[in-house]
Structure 1
Amino acid sequence: MTGETTVRTAVRIHGHGAQRKALRALLDGLPAHGGRLLLAGEPGLGRTTLLQWAARSFRAGPVLHLGPDPDAPATARHLLDTLRAAAGGAPLLVCVDDAHLWDAPARSALGRAAEHLGSAGRVGLLVSAASDRAADPDLAHLPVVRLDPLAPPRAAALLDDLTDGAAAPAVREQLLAEAEGNPALLVALTRRLSPAELRGHRPLPRPLADAATLVRVAGAAAVTPSAHARDMLLTVAAALRASDGPDVDAGLVRDALRRRRPAREPGAGPEALPGQLARDGDRLRFHSPLVRRTVYATAPPEVRRAVHGALADVLDSGGDRLPGLLHRSWSLSGPAPAPAQADRLAAVAADGTVPASYGLRGTAYARAAELTADPAVRAERRTVAAELALHAGRPEQARPLLAAARDRAVPAAVRGRAELVRGLVELGDGPVGDAHQSLLLAASLLAADAPAEASTAALAAADAAWAAGDLSACLATLAPQPPRRTAAAAVAATSPRRPHGSTTTVHAAVMRDHRVGMRALLEGRLDRAGAPLRQVVERGRTEDRPEPLLRAAAAALLLGDVDAARRAGARALAAARHLGSQSLEPRALEYLAYAELRAGRHPQARTHAEEGLRTALRTGQRNTAAHHRAVLALAASIEEEPDAVARHVTEALDTARRHGLAQAATLAQWAAARADLGRGRPFDAADRLGLLVLPGPGRGHFAVWRLAVPCFVEAAVLAGRQEDAREVLTDFAGWAAFGADPQAAAQLARCQALLAPPDRADGLYRQALARHDEAGGDFERSRTALLYGKWLRRRRRPREARDRLGAALAGFERCGAGVWAAQARDELRALGAAPHASGAATPARLSRLTPQQLRIARYVAEGATNREVALTLAVSTRTVDYHLRKVFAALGIRSRLELARVVGQAEQGREARRTAAHQEKTGARP
């Protein structure tokens, strides 16, 4: 066993935040106790880099790197003695990289030593191993932290660091798609390119990830000495190219192996698995996608073709037409076009009676394009493949296909379809201004020969302008265009069939009515907007396709019919899942979340937005993810989660600012302001909201800022800015009369009550409550009841105030509005009432504090200065300052006044529980 001195060098990490958090927890605990972790991941994901980062970050003692010594195999006792000697009584970090490469005796000694680390003192052990060896019996008892591929934004950040942002956009997209989130592979691919290739001045080498590059990254993980193991690995890798998922049928592999080698030695069946494979029932998969790619790329071409031929024979005999045709196409020799094979592939991929996923159909169209000689048909097939990849939730595959489909020599309709798909890709994950222009170009190119697709492109362009908050562009895009029809016989003769389930077009009547109604609404002509939008909603009641249902949900939200929006959104979600369109799932969840939010059902909105965020990130839709984060911020803004609000707001704004998402940005900023208002900070809330709702160039999104007006009016009145509040109320009154927001009429009456003289305010508050009863929704009604109760208390009408405040508290608790419930409790307490559950949540908040922080918090709550606290506790003033900042952060507060309130509520709650317990014990009655 050998040890070497650590050289600390700067290690820049992209992603792996959860893994670094786990490592940091181990490092932070070493001064008190030992610990151990196993980092598991496929080659190239950064196991070594994370070990270096941990070694660089550890400052409490020495760091020891251990490697195997082939001349002196260690025993567990020898290893423990080595660790004790190296520690010398101080905390010690031991790093073991690539433990799967150790020989069996050394690995066994390492495993046994790890089990007895407690007796070795304050020793931390970090071990890394390849994914396929993480379950090694010698290491199986170690807590495992698994490394995943980098998320697209993290991979993009790494690429920008590597190239100083010099990569051409098309090259950048291809590098990111080819690397599949593997940082080492991304580095290797980038270093392989010349400056001219990187900048797009010369064609990229093909294949981009060649065998030599893959071998360099995968190392020995793809190597096996057995001929049978190599055959099995190649057969599984080849079969996965035409698979709907990450695994394949073991029977298919077995039968294909038998067709190639009928007389194999006994015992060499699929049960004798190589270490690179895992078996789950009758399914086989690779532990590492990188190893799978390396196995396939390094096999001789003639052997690959033979394997595909054997797989095609097995599949043909079983009736699996599309996978069989794909494997048959890969068994062809040479790069020459094969028109007949290409036509068969495209025809079967478009056949709705053939069971296949969007991803598999897209693979078939991409392969058909490779075998197609005609440029127009080849470009069209690549476009369809890109569309299907987008539906499968793989925009990283769609972008290179669209880049390859660019050809000015092909007909306008073919170029228009490519621009339509490109615009939809950018609408989900890119600057929405770019998406708007691509979709406008698509509409122009398609207008003559494909008017239905042109209408789809135009409506999607309006969606892009809406997301950007560009009202004039939205109106211009929605303007009716004169019909343009020309003969398109040449295009029609060469254009391939559209695949089953292809949904770049929506029913013409739905698009027409949605466009007409949306434009009328934006122009303020509700009399003309209602009928066509209601038609869109009505058609959604009998639809089973996700796109028309999404339009129905959007139209219902424009009309303020949140129940219809929920129904259409739920049906769209079910339809998208039934079709396997992963790209539409997060959009359906977005409409569901908005509908719940508009109805005041924040917990339900949060549930939908959390699921929508996960699916949006999984399918590479950062723009949709930003909208879900904004909804999550709004939901958290009424709860006792200031950190969650700040996190969601920051992440939503990060994407919104880079991609021009005015709608998401306005929602996120409103959430931050509402959190301020709920926590009793009206000045901060008024400052934030003033930027959104007051006239000026920085006003928020045209369809969202009015929703924030009631919050601004409340904050402005509390902050003494009545004139600013009156300035926006006239416009809000027009919005309320519009009828598109079921809560607006009640909110208007509440705002008017806040600004009215005492002789009118009482009636306005009652009017607001009556309208809340008509509209429904606990949260907004409780806000009105809270303000009314405060008004009554200050006018010395305690009995009425208590009724209103009690109703407000009950409503806030029912909808989970913790911070607003705290306001209601404070008001009840000021009346001398003892609200139920008083302090119930506050002790839980105080439990977040350390004992020292709690002592300091109590002294400060009693009015002591930092110096007085320091003298009492015999610590420095700087120590008190430090702990008090931690207290404020843990409790989500900003002032000593808020701290006094929180501590006071906790003490009263504790006293109430003590009294109740005593009464129960003694049998006394209150």
Structure 2
Amino acid sequence: MTGQTTAPPGPTPYRASTPADRLDGGAHVVTGEPGCGRTRFLERAARAFAGPVVRVRADPARSAVPGDGLRTLLRALGDATGHAPAGGFGPALLDTLSAGPAPLLVCVDDAHLWDPVSRTVLGDAARQLCRTTAAARLLLTVPGHRPPAPEFAGLPVVRVDPLTPPEAVALLDEVTGGALDGGVRDAIVDAAQGSPALLLALVRRLSPAQLRGDRPPPHPLPGAEVLTGLAGGYLDGLTRDRRDLLLTAAAAARDDEDTGVGLGLVLRAVRHLGHDGAVPLPDLLASADDEVRFHSELLRRTVYAAAPDERRRAVHLALARELEHSKAPGAPGAPERGDPRAVLHRAWAGAVRGDELEAVAGDLPSRRLRCAAYTRAAELCEDGPRRAERYTAAAGQALLDGRSHQALRLLDAARTGGASAGVRGRAALLRGTAALRDGPVDEAQASLLLASSLLADRSPADAAAAALAACDAAWAAGDPAGCLAALERCGRVTADLAPDDPRADYRLGLRALLEARFEEAAVRLRRVVPAPDGPDVPEDGLRAAAAALMLGDLAGARRAAARALAAARTLDAVAVVPRAREYLAYVELRAGRHALARTHAEEGLRAAHRAGQRNTAAHQHAVLALAASIEGETERVAAHVAAALGTARRHGLAQAATLAEWAAARADLGCGRPQEAADRLGPLVRPGARRGHFALWMLAIPCYVEAAVSAGQPEDARTVVEDFARWAVFGADPQAPAQLLRCRALLAPQDRADALYRHALDLHESAGGDFERARTELLHGKWLRRRRRLREARDRLGAALVGFERCGARAWAEQTRDELRAGGAAAGGARPNGPADLAGLTPQQLRIARRVAEGATNREVALTLSVSTRTVDYHLRRVFATLGVRSRLELARLVEQAEKTGAHP
């Protein structure tokens, strides 16, 4: 065991539920599976800490020496503080941690390896520290692959989670300087499954030629050598029967690791390996509801890869024998047929033919197992065209499961088989679908059009689906001519459809909309919107949601998207979930329910990252930027805009780019920067090569008109108002008629503006939406105040303030308060200026507020409270928002008044 007071520099490849530099005081347990980056988390915390740092790491060789861990920690504390701790272990440790106002960070790595006496004292001291206001902080790391040590129960937990695919890509780009071939990088990201240690181990094994993509990476990726090098030590000391039990559980979960496996199945299969079935469960396994799973997926893979080949085959055969006497999970009939997983296990043992495996592949209970079955059947096939067909079927399952990179690799394997035109068409459809979600959309469009041509004679339904997907790609790219061309192709392959078929109505309605035949478009698209019991096919639900959004039927769009989401979950169509969330987020944005839109977008963003859908993630980032622009969170807006534009510019996503630019401009406008907003929005809405997406740019016109008028450039805005008028007539946006009147009021002569504002407010009553109504009230209130109609202005501005506060639009609410003060009124709402305001602060915010009121800088506050300056900045912004103050001077006066009256918490 060693002690040190500084942390070495280096990258921080980990992902924590709470960032290392944003932890509050007290004690925390940092946990996660092997290789997740717990030690790097401590290093990051040490670098971010403004004060002395004490770090100790357990020495497993001394874990049997009572109190050895504490003695090492106390020595390190004495060296760091200059005071030798005195007394018994417990009092000495707690006194040292609690003494003095100076900040101190103590990091104990692998605390679970300490001797029991040291663990007990450390856990008690940590709990005491959480109950005090001491400046010291304590971080303990323990692994997440075993049940937690009871000595640390009840302590706050920070979990170091697996990296998301974008985070894994960023780490690889960092360590390779961006020199890693894209295909190789995607293969490594898929193989590492979010483990930073495995990710780095894999890339370090590559030769320069493999890094460039000139030679294929090693197969398998990762191999047993890499896995055992990372996690093999955790398996040392296991008896043979426990090793077999672990191997059986690992084999039962092969290629379907996200689900648990039946405990009874595992125990029965172990008997076929020569054990009596009474083997106790190792603590690497968790058991609940008669299912068993590994605490760590990395350890599951290591157990399986490290086993000898003959032992793996024996385990698979044992599992197959047990499954042959049971029916498939959830299958009500024909128990004598047996569970189809038995055939797959025999295939993994090398004891079955490809034809037999292909015959049961469709009956397997998950898409991952179906993909594995089709892949293994292809590997066992010597006939080239048949092999290509099986690889393509496996790719289809992988794509539906949200594993685009694996699907593309399987399609590459299918190329070597001399596939028929029909199989090539299905492969092109899958490639185009993958690119539509995670690649350049012009490539997606070309691949999907090729698929439509190849499938036209063999499968008209698939050919039509490919053409409609090509239209989606052109739509995402902002290419109306491409949309029309794809719809024309779709019409040729679906000529036999009945005129009132929903697919025909969607195609013809969308075409009419693109050709500005709005009345016909409305009639056609209205037929696509489902009844309340609507379609249970996810793709049909998404089409219906799109049609409803085009019509402005928000209730219908919400219903269709929600049903598509439910159907996707029921059918295990993981890849559809992010898109369904995207549609739900659009619906709530249009309805003015920004908090709910953000919830859908956050869930959709997580699902998109899990499914490797960067294009869908870019749209979710754009929605989150729009929601944050309402709430006045400028840093969050900038981060989401940068993320959306980063992908949009690389992949040609005009739709996501337009939404992101609009969000950035609206944030500028909300923060009182109309000139910046006008400069950003002008190219987006005015005619020219830089105009935004053809179906979205008009949505930004109300913001542009307001920005241009506020910046003293009304003439620049007049030319686009009539464009917006034509859009408002179509009825696709419930807010558009009121917004149009607001725009006309901003540009109208003085004798007409008042009536236009009032008419706009009347329309807002029927349209709903607090935010847009409050914006009209704010502009009307400004207009009234500048004409010295102060009483009317105060009424209008007061209503605007309530509306902004109701929807959480803090920056806009602050603008309204400024107007109220300028008109001689008290800025009410969430800004009552009184001592009771302090009761709304959290304890940490209250401590920060009092120290700032005493004149301390943010850095001085950070040093005093043992937190980072970023944490102080964050809490201080919350304090200002909660108390409704705009300066440190106002805050000092408010705190002073509370202290004098004794009304503080």
TM-score when normalising by structure 1: 0.82
The answer to whether the Cα contact below 8 Å between 1:36 and 1:114 also exists between their aligned partners in 2 is: no
What per-residue deviation string (whole Å, max 9, x for no partner) do you get for residues 592-625 of structure 1?
2212211223233233323323333333333223
CA distance in 2: counterparts of 1:467 and 1:286, whole angstroms: 41
Correspondences of 1:768-847 after superposition (within 5 Å): 768-833=760-825, 837=829, 839-840=831-832
The answer to whether the Cα contact below 8 Å between 1:736 and 1:748 also exists between their aligned partners in 2 is: yes
CA distance in 1: counterparts of 2:720 and 2:875, whole angstroms: 34
Residue 424 of structure 2 is aligned to residue 415 of structure 1: yes
CA distance in 2: counterparts of 1:109 and 1:884, whole angstroms: 34
Cα–Cα, structure 1 residues 807 and 129, in superposed 2: closer, same or farther, change >3 Å? closer
Cα–Cα, structure 1 residues 693 and 891, in superposed 2: closer, same or farther, change >3 Å? farther
What per-residue deviation string (whole Å, max 9, x for no partner) do you get for residues 792-824 of structure 1?
333233444344334434433444434334444
Q: Which position in structure 1 is the counterpart of 2:652?
A: 660
CA distance in 2: counterparts of 1:588 and 1:69, whole angstroms: 50
Mean CA deviation greater in 127-136 or 225-234: 127-136
What per-residue deviation string (whole Å, max 9, x for no partner) do you get for residues 553-589 of structure 1?
1011112222221221222222223323232222122
The answer to whether the Cα contact below 8 Å between 1:540 and 1:552 also exists between their aligned partners in 2 is: no
Q: Secondary structure at the match of 1:160?
A: helix
Q: Secondary structure at the match of 1:406?
A: helix
Q: Which position in structure 1 is the counterpart of 2:547?
A: 555
Residue 283 of structure 2 is aligned to residue 284 of structure 1: no
The answer to whether the Cα contact below 8 Å between 1:40 and 1:128 also exists between their aligned partners in 2 is: yes
Cα–Cα, structure 1 residues 551 and 169, in superposed 2: closer, same or farther, change >3 Å? same
Q: Give 2:710's match in structure 1, choosing from 711, 718, 726.
A: 718
Q: Which position in structure 1 is the counterpart of 2:262?
A: 249
Q: Give 2:379's match in structure 1, choosing from 363, 370, 374.
A: 370
CA distance in 1: counterparts of 2:20 and 2:871, whole angstroms: 25
Correspondences of 1:227-238 after superposition (within 5 Å): 227-238=240-251
Q: Secondary structure at the match of 1:147?
A: strand
The answer to whether the Cα contact below 8 Å between 2:702 and 2:743 also exists between their aligned partners in 1 is: yes
Q: Which position in structure 1 is the counterpart of 2:398?
A: 389
Q: Which position in structure 2 is the counterpart of 1:47?
A: 38
What per-residue deviation string (whole Å, max 9, x for no partner) do you get for residues 12-51 of structure 1?
12342545x336647xx6xxxxx65443232222234344
The answer to whether the Cα contact below 8 Å between 1:452 and 1:508 also exists between their aligned partners in 2 is: no
CA distance in 2: counterparts of 1:379 and 1:311, whole angstroms: 29
Cα–Cα, structure 1 residues 169 and 483, in superposed 2: closer, same or farther, change >3 Å? same
The answer to whether the Cα contact below 8 Å between 2:648 and 2:657 also exists between their aligned partners in 1 is: yes
The answer to whether the Cα contact below 8 Å between 2:833 and 2:894 also exists between their aligned partners in 1 is: no
Mean CA deviation greater in 582-591 or 768-777: 768-777
Q: Secondary structure at the match of 2:657?
A: helix
Mean CA deviation greater in 322-331 or 279-288: 322-331
CA distance in 1: counterparts of 2:355 and 2:32, whole angstroms: 43
- Letter in structure 2 aligned against 1:312: A
Cα–Cα, structure 1 residues 132 and 285, in superposed 2: closer, same or farther, change >3 Å? same
- Letter in structure 2 aligned against 1:368: A
- Letter in structure 2 aligned against 1:519: R
> What is the deviation of 1:324?
3.6
Cα–Cα, structure 1 residues 672 and 347, in superposed 2: closer, same or farther, change >3 Å? closer
Give unpaired runs (5+ residues) of structure 2: 84-102, 332-337, 862-867
Q: Which position in structure 1 is the counterpart of 2:617?
A: 625
Correspondences of 1:11-410 after superposition (within 5 Å): 11-16=10-15, 18=17, 21-22=19-20, 25=23, 36-54=27-45, 60-61=51-52, 63-68=54-59, 70=61, 73=65, 75=67, 78-79=71-72, 81-89=74-82, 96-100=108-112, 102=113, 106=115, 108-113=117-122, 115-116=124-125, 126-133=139-146, 135-140=148-153, 143-241=156-254, 243=256, 245-261=258-274, 264=276, 269-270=278-279, 272-320=280-328, 324-332=339-347, 338-349=353-364, 356-407=365-416, 409-410=418-419
Q: Which position in structure 2 is the counterpart of 1:431?
A: 440
Cα–Cα, structure 1 residues 369 and 724, in superposed 2: closer, same or farther, change >3 Å? same
Residue 665 of structure 2 is aligned to residue 673 of structure 1: yes
Correspondences of 1:423-462 after superposition (within 5 Å): 423-462=432-471
The answer to whether the Cα contact below 8 Å between 2:344 and 2:373 also exists between their aligned partners in 1 is: no
What per-residue deviation string (whole Å, max 9, x for no partner) do you get for residues 833-887 of structure 1?
5565361499579968644544679xxxxxxxxxxx9xxxx99xxxxxx999987
- Letter in structure 2 aligned against 1:812: F
Mean CA deviation greater in 743-752 or 9-18: 9-18
The answer to whether the Cα contact below 8 Å between 1:99 and 1:107 also exists between their aligned partners in 2 is: no
> What is the deviation of 1:411?
1.3
The answer to whether the Cα contact below 8 Å between 2:262 and 2:290 also exists between their aligned partners in 1 is: yes
What per-residue deviation string (whole Å, max 9, x for no partner) do you get for residues 165-195 of structure 1?
4444333222221111112222222333333
Cα–Cα, structure 1 residues 465 and 454, in superposed 2: closer, same or farther, change >3 Å? same
The answer to whether the Cα contact below 8 Å between 2:325 and 2:339 also exists between their aligned partners in 1 is: no
Q: Secondary structure at the match of 1:318?
A: coil
What per-residue deviation string (whole Å, max 9, x for no partner) do you get for residues 712-769 of structure 1?
1111111101111112222222222333323222211211111111122223223323
CA distance in 1: counterparts of 2:552 and 2:381, whole angstroms: 50
Q: Secondary structure at the match of 1:479?
A: helix
Q: Secondary structure at the match of 1:583?
A: helix
> What is the deviation of 1:463?
1.3
Give unpaired runs (5+ residues) of structure 1: 30-34, 350-355, 486-504, 858-868, 876-881, 918-926
Residue 687 of structure 2 is aligned to residue 687 of structure 1: no
Cα–Cα, structure 1 residues 443 and 799, in superposed 2: closer, same or farther, change >3 Å? same
What per-residue deviation string (whole Å, max 9, x for no partner) do you get for residues 464-522 of structure 1?
2222223333333333468479xxxxxxxxxxxxxxxxxxx999944433233223212
The answer to whether the Cα contact below 8 Å between 1:214 and 1:294 also exists between their aligned partners in 2 is: yes
CA distance in 1: counterparts of 2:231 and 2:871, whole angstroms: 47
- Letter in structure 1 aligned against 2:374: Y
The answer to whether the Cα contact below 8 Å between 2:622 and 2:644 also exists between their aligned partners in 1 is: yes
Cα–Cα, structure 1 residues 790 and 885, in superposed 2: closer, same or farther, change >3 Å? farther
> What is the deviation of 1:68?
2.5
CA distance in 1: counterparts of 2:53 and 2:369, whole angstroms: 53
CA distance in 2: counterparts of 1:62 and 1:757, whole angstroms: 67
Q: Secondary structure at the match of 2:287?
A: strand
The answer to whether the Cα contact below 8 Å between 2:22 and 2:870 also exists between their aligned partners in 1 is: no
What per-residue deviation string (whole Å, max 9, x for no partner) do you get for residues 370-392 of structure 1?
33333333323333333223333
Mean CA deviation greater in 772-781 or 295-304: 772-781
CA distance in 2: counterparts of 1:752 and 1:805, whole angstroms: 20
Q: Give 1:607's match in structure 2, choosing from 575, 582, 599.
A: 599
> What is the deviation of 1:700?
2.0
Mean CA deviation greater in 50-59 or 681-690: 50-59
Q: Secondary structure at the match of 2:481?
A: helix
The answer to whether the Cα contact below 8 Å between 2:201 and 2:226 also exists between their aligned partners in 1 is: yes
Cα–Cα, structure 1 residues 446 and 108, in superposed 2: closer, same or farther, change >3 Å? farther
CA distance in 2: counterparts of 1:506 and 1:70, whole angstroms: 78
What per-residue deviation string (whole Å, max 9, x for no partner) do you get for residues 319-370 of structure 1?
1289943343333587698143223223534xxxxxx233333333333333
Cα–Cα, structure 1 residues 84 and 556, in superposed 2: closer, same or farther, change >3 Å? closer
Q: Secondary structure at the match of 2:82?
A: coil
> What is the deviation of 1:127?
4.2
The answer to whether the Cα contact below 8 Å between 1:66 and 1:94 also exists between their aligned partners in 2 is: no
Give me the CA root mean square deviation.
4.1
- Letter in structure 2 aligned against 1:39: V
Cα–Cα, structure 1 residues 752 and 113, in superposed 2: closer, same or farther, change >3 Å? closer
Q: Which position in structure 2 is the counterpart of 1:490?
A: none
Fraction of identical pairs, as percent: 52
Mean CA deviation greater in 789-798 or 661-670: 789-798
Cα–Cα, structure 1 residues 506 and 69, in superposed 2: closer, same or farther, change >3 Å? farther
